[in-house]
Chains A and B, each alone.
Chain A
Amino acid sequence: MKYGARYDAVKKILEDAKQQERDRAEDPSKLPENDWKRIETVIDSYFNDRSKIMETAIGMLNDKSATADDQADRWSEHFQKAAENAHKRISDLISGKDRKTFGPFSFYEQIHRISVQEPQFLSVLSGLPLAGMQGRINDHRKKFEEEQKNLRDKFNDLKSKDRGFDDRIKRTVDDLTGMYEKSIEDVVDKHLQVSRKFVAWVHGFRKADDTTSPGTPSWLDPLDYYLRALDAMLVSPKTYRQRLDEAFRSEGTLIILFDKTRRDVKKFLDGVNLELVEKETEDTKKTALDQVSKWKNPGHNEDGKAFVEDTAKAVQMTLWSYSVVFNSFIDEFRGVFLGPVGDRTVADLLEPREGEDAGKRIKGLHVERQLKDLYNEARDWDVDFDGISEKHRAHIQKMIHDHLDRLAPKIQRTGDLTMADANAIAIKLMKKDEASKMKSLPGWDD
C-alpha cells in the first residue's frame, strides 16, 4: 500500500491496545473480539481507499489545461470531501458507545483518536499549495504561448509597416533624383543657349561702330531661364524632402513602438520567467513539506512527506512542459525583443542597405560639380575681340562680368545647398543613427 506508514503504525497501535485489554480483563472471553475484528476490517479498507484517494489527487495534476484557481479548488474539495467521509466512516464504527467508558489505551479509544486524526491529516492535505502551483504553471505556459504568437504578429506587422515606408522612401528618392537629373539637363540646355546667343551677340559687335547701340543682349533671355532653372533646383526638393521627412518620422514611430514592446517584454519576463517559476515551485514544495511535518502521530509525517514528494514530481512534469515553451519563446525572440538587438532585426526593420544604395545614387548625381563645370565654362569663354572697338570690348567684358557675377553666387548656392541637401538625405537614408539607436535599446537579459 502506498502511503502506508500510518496504516502500519495504526495496526501496531490497535494490536497493542487489544493485547492490553486482554491482559487486564478479568474474563477475556467477554472481550468484544468479534467487534474488534469487524472494526479492523473497516480500518484496513479505509486505509486502502485513502491511498487511492491520494493517488487520484496526484492524477489531477496531469491536467495541462486547469488554471491555478481550478486546480486549487478541485484539490481542496477532493480532500475536504475525503476528510468528511473519513470522519463519518471511522467514527461510526464506535457509534452509540460512550467514550467515558473507554480506557485511555483501550481499543475503542484508539479508534476514536483515529476518527479525529485521519480527517485532520486529509484536511491538511486539502490545503497543500502544490496543486495551485501546478495550475499557476499551466497559466504561465498558456500565457507564454499566447504572447509568443502575439509578439510574432507584432514583429511581422512592424516589418510590414517598415516595408511600406521604405517603398515610399525609395519612390521619393527616385522622384528626387529624377528631378535633379531633369533640372541639370535644363540648366545645361539653357547654358548652351546662352553660349550660342552670346557668341552671336559678340559677333554682332564686329559689324557695329561706336555709334551703334549694343542693344539688349538676346542671350540674357535664356540666362534668366537659366537662373530660374537654378532656383527651381533649390525650391523643388522641398516637397520631396517633406515626403522623406514624413516617411522618416513614421519609421521613427516604428522604432518607438519597437522600443516600447521590448520594454513590455522585459517587464513581463522580470515578473515571470523560468528561473522565477522554478524557484517558486521549489519554495512551494518546501512549504508543503513543512505543513506535513508537524504531526506527533507516528506514520502521518512519513505518509505526508512521501505524498508531497510524489506531488512535487507531478508538478515537475508540468514545469518541464512550461520550460519547453519558455525556451522556445526566448529562442524565437532573442535578438529581436530580448537581449541586444541583432543585425538581422535591424536589417529587417530599417533596411539600411537599401538606404545606403539610395543615398549613393543621390550623391552620385554630383550636382555641385556639374554646376561648377558650367560656371567654369562660362568664365573661360574665349572671346575673340578682333574687329571689335575698344568701347564695345569694354561693354562686352562688363556684360560677361555681370553675367558671371549673377551666375556665380547662384551656382555656388545651388551647388552648396543641393549638395548639402543631398548629403543630408543620403546620411538619413543610410539610417546609421536609427540603427545605432535600435541596437542600444535596453532589453531583458542584456
Chain B
Amino acid sequence: MAQSISTGIKTDQVRDPDPEFYGFRVRWIQWDSPFRETELRIGDLVQGVDGERYPTTQEEPERARAIGQYHEHVHWERLGATDGQTITLEIDRDGEPLRIQGPLRAEVFYHDENKRRSMGPGGPDRIKSDGFRGSWSGWYEDFVKNASRVLDDGWNRGRINNKKELRDHENNRPRVEYLLEHYPGPFAERTVEDWERVRDNLVGRAVTLTDEDLEYRELGAKRVAIVAEAAKEAYAAFMEGLGDDVIPAFPTIDPVEDDRSTVTGKIVELPWITFRSFINDLGNSYAVAGSSREGFHFIDIESPVMDRFFDALFRYQAQVTPNYTERYRFIGKILDDPRMITYRGRPAVGMMLEVIAGSAGDESFFTDLSQSDGKGRAPFAGEALLAGLSPVEVRDDMSPGELVEAMILATKVANQSAWRACFADWRVMSGFSGPQSVDRNYILRDAVYMRVWEHSRRLVEGEVYDARIARVERPRVILEADPDLDVPRVEELKVYIDHFGKVDGEYRAFSNVNVNRRWTIQRLDDGPWKIADVQHL
C-alpha cells in the first residue's frame, strides 16, 4: 500500500472573497510532524504552497486537498511527492507574508514492544487507560482538540473563561506526568510541551501595574476619603459661622396663619431628602421638605444657585466617584416668599428658601454656594486638593488602537462624554450573505448607552484593574463607495484587548463572559475611526 504523505498540519479553511485574507489557518501541528521544527505557528494562514496561491473560488474536491485538509495526501499522491521532500508554504502572519520550508512525511504507525499500536515510540498503548478515565487515544484526541482551541487564538475567537479552563486543564496534569514517567519518549515530551504551552496561555500574561496605572481606582477610594474629610470639616466650620441666625427647620410657621416676619431672613438646615421630594408644579421644579403637620420649606431647583450646586456635584462625580447615595441636605435662608404648590396630591403652603450651602451622599460632598473658584463655579470641599487628571481627548485623526485606548481611559476616569464620542453614529447592515449597506440615521437610545457605560464603570471599579491593547488587525474594505446610491466606503478592523485582574497578588490577563475582548472599529470615507459595537468593556 502506498504510504500516505502529508505535512502533519491540521487547518481550517478561512473563506473570504478577498485573496489577501483567504487561506487555511493552522489549528494544530501533529506532535511528530517535521513542521514542529520550523517557524510555523498555530494561527498562521497558509495561502499557497510552492509558489501557487490558493484561489478564493476554490471548490471541492480541490479545497479538501489543500494543506491541512482531510485529503491533503491525495494532492501529494497526484504529484508523486516522496517522504522527506521539502515544500515551501506561503504564509500570512497578521499581514506579514512569510515562506516556511519543511519536509513532507509519510504517515507512521507506532507499535510498542508487544507489537500493539501505540501513541508513539515507547507507548502508551492506544486503547489502554492505565487507570485513567478513557483510552490514551481518546484522551489525546480531546487533549488536542482543547489545546488547539486555546492556542488557536482561543481568547479572541471564542469566549473562553481562562480561569475555569485553567482549572480543567490542571486536571490533566496527573495523566501528563504519568505519561512522561511511564512512557518517556518523543510523544510524551511533545505532549508535556503542549500541555505547558496551553497552561502558560491560560494563566494569562502578566503585567506590572504601577501606582500611576492604578491611580484611577484611587478615584473611588482615596479621593472619596480626601474629599469626605474636607466636606466634614467645611460643613462644621460653615455651621459654626452661621451662629444664632440658625433656627430649627421644623416645626415651622404656617405662612398664612402666622407672622412671616418672625422667620424671614433666618437660616435653616433641612433634613436629608431624596429625589422623591423633587416635584414639578405648573412647569416649575421644586425640592420640598416637611409635612402638613410640621410645615413646609421649598427650594426652586431651577434657580441659578441650584445650577451651581448641581454643577459642583457633577464635577464631584467626574473627578471623585460616579457613585454616591442619592440624597441631599440643604441649608438656606428663609425668604419672605410664601408659595402654594401641590405636593403628594395636595396643596401645601410653605416658605421659599434661598440655598446657601448643600451636602450630598453620605456627607461626602459639601459646597458653600457663596464661594467661587474664579470660573464662576462653586467649588466643592476638597476639590482644590485633588490633583489634575489627564484630560481624555478623542481626536478625529486617532488610529484604531489610540481610539480604543482613549475609550479605556475615559472609562477609567469616568469621562462619559469622551467615552461616548468613541462610538459610531452609523451601522453597517448585512444580509445573510448578500451585499452590505450603511444606515447613517442609526440612533440608539440614551438608556442603552447609559446601561453600557455603567456596566463598564462597574468593571473598572471591580475585577478589571487595567485593559490594554493585545492586537490590532489590518483594516480591510468591507463596503466600496457608491456615490450614486449615497453609500460611503467602509473600512473595518478588529482590535483585541486584554483585561487584567488581580490573581494571588499579581496582575494577569483574564477572559470570561463579563468582558469584551473584541472590538469592531470602522470608518466611513477615510473619516475618523469609531467603535461600531456599543458594548461594555
Contacts and interface: CB of A to CB of B under 8 A. Distances in A.
Nearest to B340: A257
Given A76-B443, A83-B429, A119 B281 contact: no
B134 to A, nearest CB: 43
Dominant secondary structure of chain B at its interface with chain A: loop
A254 interface: yes
Given A123-B439, A123-B440, A154 B347 contact: yes
A112 interface: yes
A318 interface: no
A210 interface: no
Nearest to B486: A120
A271 B283 contact: yes
Nearest to B447: A73
Interface in B323-367: 338-340, 342, 346-347, 349
In this complex, the interface size class of chain B, counting residues with CB under 8 Å from chain A, is: 35 or more
Dominant secondary structure of chain A at its interface with chain B: helix
B319 interface: no
A16 to B, nearest CB: 17
Contact of A150 (B342, B437, B443): B342
Interface string A341-353: 0000000000000
Given A91-B431, A264-B282, A268-B283, A158 B437 contact: no
A257 B439 contact: no
Contacts, number: 115
A84 B435 contact: no
B482 interface: yes
Contacts of B346: 153
Contact of B431 (A83, A92, A99, A126): A92
A264 to B, nearest CB: 4
Interface string B458-483: 00000000000000000000000010
B390 interface: no
B485 A116 contact: yes
B342 A88 contact: no
B215 to A, nearest CB: 38
Given A250-B256, A253-B256, A257-B339, A157 B347 contact: yes
Contact of A95 (B284, B431, B440): B431
A113 B487 CA distance: 10
Interface string A235-271: 0000000000010011001101100110011011001
A257 B432 CA distance: 67
B280 to A, nearest CB: 9
B429 A264 contact: no
Contacts of B342: 150, 153-154
Interface in B413-442: 429-437, 439-442
B281 A264 contact: yes
A5 to B, nearest CB: 19
A264 B339 CA distance: 10
A90 B431 CA distance: 8
B133 interface: no
Contact of B282 (A124, A153, A161, A267): A267
Contact of A253 (B255, B282, B430, B443): B255
B480 to A, nearest CB: 9
A223 to B, nearest CB: 41
Nearest to A154: B347
A150 B281 contact: yes
Contacts of A83: 429, 439
A434 to B, nearest CB: 15
B442 A116 contact: no
B259 A249 contact: yes
Contacts of B482: 116
Contacts of B255: 253
Interface of B: 255-257, 259-260, 281-284, 338-340, 342, 346-347, 349, 429-437, 439-443, 445, 482, 485-487
Interface of A: 73, 76, 80, 83-84, 87-96, 99, 112-113, 115-117, 119-120, 123-124, 126-127, 147, 150, 153-154, 157-158, 161, 246, 249-250, 253-254, 256-257, 260-261, 264-265, 267-268, 271-272
Given A120-B486, A253-B338, A264-B284, 11 more contacts: A80-B443, A84-B439, A91-B435, A91-B436, A95-B432, A113-B485, A115-B435, A116-B485, A123-B439, A123-B442, A264-B283
- 4 interchain residue pairs of minimum CB distance: A91-B434, A91-B431, A150-B342, A95-B433
